[in-house]
């Protein structure tokens, strides 16, 4: 979808200070040597709940940073979209409403979405459509990939998971990034890949933990081949990116930086580099191998890291990508305006971007 006057007015991210290192995890038997070779992972960010680093609290910290960055009065936010992949910490509640309260947003519609790791891009389009040329919205995304529910080093293959959060304030009053387009593509024929044969009967948490996504993929291959997945992924991601580029009036060669999910080396090459016809040097892959895959927050964390790196020049165009289980692919083309942020530091309160 083409946007004529939609801006990222402010953004913020939160990454815990603590790290677990891949080499140490291999030495202790928590991470396989084969997986380490496949991913090239160096480390992963690790939240500590006892320090107030739960998924909701990290999202709130990122949200405060985004509001400060935009210089936005919380009362001006009309809609808040919160994206989560794993778990918000409690059943039978709306984390979006918690964030609304924590961020002192008096009146807005708080929405929690579950489009997995495409959630930030989906949220951007939802806010853009909701605001329809006036008003402001916020997108937040956060996850904490922790035992006993999830083993960041062993619950999946081809990537390692890192804890973190990101937030955007979207509106029409200008900001450091102009949103030129967003594009979303879905393919429900691949839904079973992250469900497998697991029961959907309550209570879910009576099933074995930690979650084993590799076992679910094995169940998926009982009816569909991995080759079909790669074919469908390539077609969907290519179409998603091409649509976003066309709507933005932007050539492939005009993209200065590609912000991708923080996957491991082999998975990135097969799932992202090949369909998009790019290489690691055009991305923040090296930083991703230090942070881990944070989930839906990846493109927001990457954008915040890039902005603070000093590597951007006004007029640079970037393509943000999210890939969510289900499957949903999301792309957004944004242009760096060079506009000064209202704050120069991202979330000094706790972890912040490292």
Q: Each residue of 76-129: pLDDT tens digit?
A: 999 999 999 998 888 889 999 999 999 999 999 999 999 999 999 999 999 999
- pLDDT for residue 204: 58
- pLDDT for residue 341: 58
CATH of the domain at 89: 3.40.47.10
Domain annotation covers residue 258: yes
Structural domain containing residue 322 = 1-339
Q: What are phi and psi of 351, to 5 degrees?
A: -80, -65
Which two three-digit tokens encode residue 240? 């998603």
| Number of domain units in the chain | 1
Listed residue (145, 138, 128, 153) closest to 104, CA to CA: 138
Domain annotation covers residue 147: yes
Tell me which residues of the chain have a pLDDT lower than 50: 344-350, 353-354
Q: Measured between alpha carbons, how far is 312 from 154 in angstroms, rounded to an integer?
A: 36
Domain annotation covers residue 347: no
Q: What are phi and psi of 306, to 5 degrees?
A: -65, -40
- pLDDT for residue 195: 86
Domain annotation covers residue 254: yes
Q: How far is CA 340 from CA 7, 70, 170, 344, in A?
A: 13, 10, 16, 9
Place of tokens 């120069």: 344
Q: What are phi and psi of 41, to 5 degrees?
A: -65, 140
Look up the pTM and report it. Answer: 0.93
On whether the CB atoms of residues 163 and 53 are closer than 8 A, the answer is yes
Q: Measured between alpha carbons, how far is 300 from 298 in angstroms, rounded to an integer?
A: 6
218 contact partners, CB below 8 Å, separation of at least 6 = 196
Domain annotation covers residue 352: no
- Residue count of the chain: 354
Q: Measured between alpha carbons, how far is 325 from 304 in angstroms, rounded to an integer?
A: 24
């Amino acid at each position: 979808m083409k946007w004529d006057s939609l801006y990222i007015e402010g953004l913020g991210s939160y990454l815990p200070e603590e790290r677990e290192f891949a080499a140490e995890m291999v030495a202790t038997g928590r991470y396989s040597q084969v997986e380490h070779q496949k991913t090239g992972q160096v480390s992963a960010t690790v939240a500590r709940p006892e320090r107030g680093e739960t998924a909701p609290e990290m999202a709130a910290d990122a949200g405060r940073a985004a509001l400060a960055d935009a210089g936005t009065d919380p009362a001006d936010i009309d809609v808040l979209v919160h994206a989560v992949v794993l778990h918000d910490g409690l059943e039978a509640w709306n984390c979006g409403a918690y964030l609304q309260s924590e961020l002192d947003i008096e009146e807005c519609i708080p929405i929690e979405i579950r489009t997995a790791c495409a959630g930030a891009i989906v949220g951007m389009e939802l806010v853009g459509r909701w605001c329809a040329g006036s008003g402001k919205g916020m997108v937040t995304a956060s996850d904490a990939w922790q035992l006993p529910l999830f083993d960041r080093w062993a619950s999946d293959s081809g990537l390692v998971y890192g804890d973190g959060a990101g937030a955007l304030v979207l509106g029409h009053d200008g900001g450091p990034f102009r949103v030129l387009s967003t594009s979303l593509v879905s393919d429900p024929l691949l839904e079973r890949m992250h469900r497998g044969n697991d029961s959907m009967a309550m209570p879910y948490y009576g099933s074995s933990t930690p979650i084993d996504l590799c076992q679910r993929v094995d169940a998926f291959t009982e009816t569909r081949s991995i080759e079909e997945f790669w074919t469908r992924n390539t077609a969907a991601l290519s179409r998603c990116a091409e649509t976003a580029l066309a709507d933005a009036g932007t050539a492939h060669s005009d993209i200065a930086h590609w912000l991708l999910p923080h996957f491991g080396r082999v998975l990135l090459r097969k799932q992202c580099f090949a369909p998009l016809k790019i290489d690691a040097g055009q991305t923040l892959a090296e930083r991703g191998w230090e942070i881990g895959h944070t989930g839906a927050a990846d493109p927001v964390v990457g954008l915040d890291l890039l902005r603070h790196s000093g590597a951007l020049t006004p007029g640079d165009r970037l393509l943000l990508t999210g890939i969510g289980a289900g499957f949903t692919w999301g792309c957004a083309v944004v242009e760096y305006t060079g506009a000064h942020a209202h704050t120069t530091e991202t979330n000094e309160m706790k972890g912040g971007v490292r």
